[in-house]
Structure 1
Amino acid sequence: MRSASDLTARARIRDAALARFGADGVAGTSVRAVAADAGVSPALVLHHFGSKERLRQACDQYVLEGIRSGGDADEGALADMLRAATPVRRYLGRALLDGTDGATALFIEIVGRTQEWLAAGEAEGWVRPTSDARARAVTYVSWLLAPLVLGDQVGRLLGGDPAETATAVRGARAGLEMLTGGLFTDDRWLTAFTAVDERETR
């Protein structure tokens, strides 16, 4: 059995690694740097996690658990969740830029969970039906994560770090406004791309 202090130290190390990996990438982060950020010794980091790779895996697992436990939230809970998610957003953005196997697994998991969530929304009546549920989920997740991968460019134009809550909410509201109310007033582009799709799949 681990003591309460062990569990606290483990969580503190994981949180420090999440922030450091998000800032410098896994390759650019040392165990010593994570230990310094967490206020512990490098030996304690290795005691809890064994290696930097296993520490990265623990960060991936933490992110995945957050995604799996996500659900409906009232306004106050949503605001708290968004504020707490800043390090996770930075971690995801950096992981996707680095293109690691772990990032690939994270993306696949996020898409899968999103596809399930949207399917449930269809069944409950608050999501419109689609002819391609997989493509919808992949596209939706790509839209959500693109500002994190294009962080410097997006931040320059929106006037803030896309991983920070204020900028993340600004971008999310704009996206949700388009998804909820629509962007185009007629179907000319949908018709054109549907025709191309049908031609290419013959």
Structure 2
Amino acid sequence: MRSDSDLTARARIGNAALELFGSEGATRVSIRAIAAKAGVSPALVVHHFGSKEGLRSACDQYVISLVRGDPDDPADLKDAAGLAAMLEEAEPVRRYLARAFLDGTPEAAALFDEIVETTAAWLEQGSAEGWVRPADDPRARAALYVTWLLAPLAFGEHLSRVLGVADLHGTDAPLRYSRTSLDMLTHGVFTDERLLGAWDAAATKRRIR
């Protein structure tokens, strides 16, 4: 779960776990399998992480650290675009997130909530700096933004077919569809407010606000 140049046993174990959890699911992967892929003994996996759950928790924290960026470098949060940049750059992380959310475990729910909270803070920072529009409901916006970004993980098979790419988790595919996503988020889709007006009329009728 570090750079390729980091060859410590702990890093190799983390990288192996992230890859295997993503490809097979945490419930289907054993400590022995992780150890074999990392080229270490099962005892060393336990020594560093305590258990498979400890290892999964470390993977979760690693993913969260990527979403947060470098808190000591404001440019990292502003320019890297947090979750979006992470999803574009890290193939094992995309596979890990896809599998985690498909498994629907309490750990995955906690991970999603943490990503939403982190993204909400990032968007609010952007709003304060003037490069993100203010929102009436910042938390709802953050949750929907995260869902928007993670949707390709859940619909990978269908998106691969429609976009004509063999592997949606490869480097080129996210760059292809994320440009369209960013264009929609930056410039919008609709040219007037007729749909907002229709929603407001329906909400007023149903007394929803």
- TM-score greater than 0.5 by the shorter chain: yes
- Who is 1:3 aligned against? none
- Alignment partner of 1:92 is 2:92: no
Q: Indicate if the aligned counterparts of 2:13 and 2:35 stay in contact, CA closer than 8 A.
A: yes
Q: Percent identity?
A: 56
Whether 2:204 is the aligned partner of 1:191: answer no
In the alignment, structure 1 segments of 5+ residues that lack a partner are 1-6
> Is this contact kept in 1: 2:25–2:103, CA < 8 A?
yes
The change in CA–CA distance for 1:95 and 1:80 in structure 2 (over 3 A counts) is closer
2:208 maps to a residue whose letter is T
> 1:173-184 residue pairs with structure 2 within 5 A?
173-184=179-190
**Is 1:55 matched with 2:62?**
no
Contact 2:94–2:153 (8 Å) recurs in 1: yes
Deviation at 1:142, TM superposition (A): 0.3
Q: CA RMSD in A?
A: 2.2
Partner of 1:113: 118
Separation in 1 of the partners of 2:92 and 2:198? 41
TM-score (norm 1): 0.87
1:72 is paired with a residue of what secondary structure? Answer: helix
The superposition leaves residues 85-108 of structure 1 with CA deviations (integer Å, 9 ceiling, x where unpaired) of: 111111011101101111111111
Maintained 8 Å contact 2:66/2:86? no
Match of 1:147 in 2: 152
Q: Which amino acid aligns with 2:182?
A: L
Q: TM-score normalized by structure 2?
A: 0.84
Partner of 1:18: 18
- Distance in 2 (CA, whole Å) between partners of 1:81 and 1:150 is 15
Q: 1:25 to 1:79 in 2, by over 3 A?
A: closer
Change in 2 beyond 3 A, CA 1:165/1:194: farther
Which letter maps to 1:184? F
> Structure 1 residue 81: deviation in Å?
8.7
**Cα separation, 2, equivalents of 1:79 and 1:110:** 14
User: What is aligned with 1:64?
Assistant: 64
- Structure 1 window deviating more from structure 2 (150-159 vs 139-148): it is 150-159
C-alpha distance after superposition, 1:159-194 (max 9, x if no partner)? 143322211111211111111111111111122223
* Residue of structure 2 equivalent to 1:4: none
* Aligned length, in residue pairs: 192
SS in structure 1 at match of 2:197: helix
